[in-house]
Amino acid sequence: MKIFTVIGDPIVHSKSTRMHNNALQVLKKDAIYTRYHLKNKAKLKEIVQKFDGANITIPFKEEAYKIADFCDESVKQIGSANTLINKDGKIYAYNTDYLGFLKAIENFFSIKNALILGAGGTAKALAYALKSINIEVAIANRSSVRFKNLNNYPCFLYDQLDLNTQFDLIINTTSAGLHDESLPCEERILKNIFQKTKYAFDVIYSRETSFLKLARENGLKIKDGMQMLLWQGVFAFELFLECQKTEEIYKAMEMALKLP
Ligand code: NDP
């Protein structure tokens, strides 16, 4: 029997166990998927080696890249991995977050450029995803320290943004709104940008954030991070089990998320 896990800190909130276990059951795979609460990143490699494969979540995605023996090109470019496979004593690293995001925005049409709010690991994965389909990317954040990791993209502090620029898509990758009603930046700035924007996406999936609510009220087509979560899980499952039954995996994972 194969054993997979999701590793993070905290981990109790993770929806990956129910998504993957339902898919394993529906597809009749001889495998289980657990979760592992890791405190010390120095132990990541040792723990990963105990499993056939692992999803890696906050705050270990960058460390996951560092401990890998072989990295997918996307992992090298993004600098982080969320899916590790342990095969013949070697660790193989993939990033399915960026693939999940691309699937999630498939029904957003004619996007030429995008503004990403936030400059952390997720911003970097999404910038890479957009660039891979020839969408121009700009990044805005409340502080500039993380801009050094994003030197392929124009980066701005919020009050440096040219509010006359038109962005077809605006994406919130900050944690603002995850547990409260805060916005990633001043409402005035968002309202100005929204006037010329078609689509808004938020990577947060547990609730409608103030960012998405404001975008909806300003007439934008909106989407939260649920589809991204689902699709990153589907792609990870395909890698773990070397199984291409994409539609069945998706349906099983979607069903698992609807359960109370
Ligand atoms: P990081 O810690 O790497 O980056 C967080 C970013 O948000 C930083 O740019 C930080 O700014 C900014 N930020 C944090 N709090 C605020 C705030 N109150 N106001 C404005 N800016 C803020 O996190 P990640 O990029 O790894 O993750 C970000 C989010 O993405 C998380 O909520 C995570 O759950 C979600 N996520 C969702 C996925 C999905 O499948 N739907 C997949 C992966 C992640 P500064 O640099 O100034 O600190």
Q: Tell me how far the alpha carbon of residue 120 lies from the centroid of ligand 1, in angstroms.
A: 6
pLDDT tens digits along 136-193 = 999 999 999 999 989 899 999 999 999 999 999 999 999 999 999 999 999 999 999 9
Mean pLDDT score of the chain: 96
Indicate the top mutation candidate among 203, 206, 254 to test ligand 1's pocket, ranked by most ligand atoms within 8 A of CB.
203
Residue 67 has pLDDT above 90, yes or no: yes
Type of residue at 113? N
Using a 6 Å cutoff on CB, does residue 174 contact ligand 1? Answer: yes
Using a 6 Å cutoff on CB, does residue 225 contact ligand 1? Answer: yes
Buried b (16+ CB within 10 A) or exposed e, 150-174: beebebbeeeebeeeeebbbbbbbb
The pair of three-digit structure tokens given for residue 59, joined into one six-digit string = 């705050």
The residue whose C-alpha atom lies closest to atom 37 belonging to ligand 1 is 203
3-class SS at 138?
strand
The pair of three-digit structure tokens given for residue 128, joined into one six-digit string = 């890479």
Average pLDDT on 208-220 reads: 98
Beta-carbon count within 10 A of 257 CB: 15
DSSP state letters, 86-122: EETTEEEEE-HHHHHHHHHTTT--S--EEEEE--SHH
Atom of ligand 1 nearest to the CA of 226: 41
- The model's confidence at residue 206, banded by pLDDT at 50, 70 and 90, is confident
Atom of ligand 1 nearest to the CA of 205: 41
Atom of ligand 1 nearest to the CA of 59: 26
How far is 74 from 95, CA to CA, in rounded Å?
6
Using a 6 Å cutoff on CB, does residue 79 contact ligand 1? Answer: no
Indicate the top mutation candidate among 9, 82, 175 to test ligand 1's pocket, ranked by most ligand atoms within 8 A of CB.
175
Backbone φ/ψ region at 86: left (φ over 0), alpha (ψ -120 to 50), beta: beta
Catalytic residue annotation: 61
Using a 6 Å cutoff on CB, does residue 143 contact ligand 1? Answer: yes
pLDDT tens digits along 105-127 = 999 999 999 999 999 989 999 99
The set of residues, in sequence order, having a beta carbon less than 8 Å from that of 200 and lying 6+ positions away, is 169, 170, 171, 172, 194, 211, 212, 215, 216, 220, 221, 222, 223
Indicate the top mutation candidate among 20, 101, 122, 141 to test ligand 1's pocket, ranked by most ligand atoms within 8 A of CB.
122
Q: What is the pLDDT of residue 260?
A: 79
Using a 6 Å cutoff on CB, does residue 228 contact ligand 1? Answer: yes
Residue closest to 68 by CA, chosen among 101, 99, 92: 92
Prediction pTM value: 0.95
How far is 190 from 167, CA to CA, in rounded Å?
11
Using a 6 Å cutoff on CB, does residue 121 contact ligand 1? Answer: yes
pLDDT tens digits along 21-34 = 999 999 999 999 99
Q: What is the pLDDT of residue 47?
A: 98
Q: Domains, the chain, ranges and CATH?
A: 2-95+227-258 (3.40.50.10860), 99-224 (3.40.50.720)
Using a 6 Å cutoff on CB, does residue 182 contact ligand 1? Answer: yes
Average pLDDT on 80-96 reads: 97
Residue 259 has pLDDT above 90, yes or no: no
Report yes or no: 250 and 230 within 8 Å, Cβ to Cβ.
yes
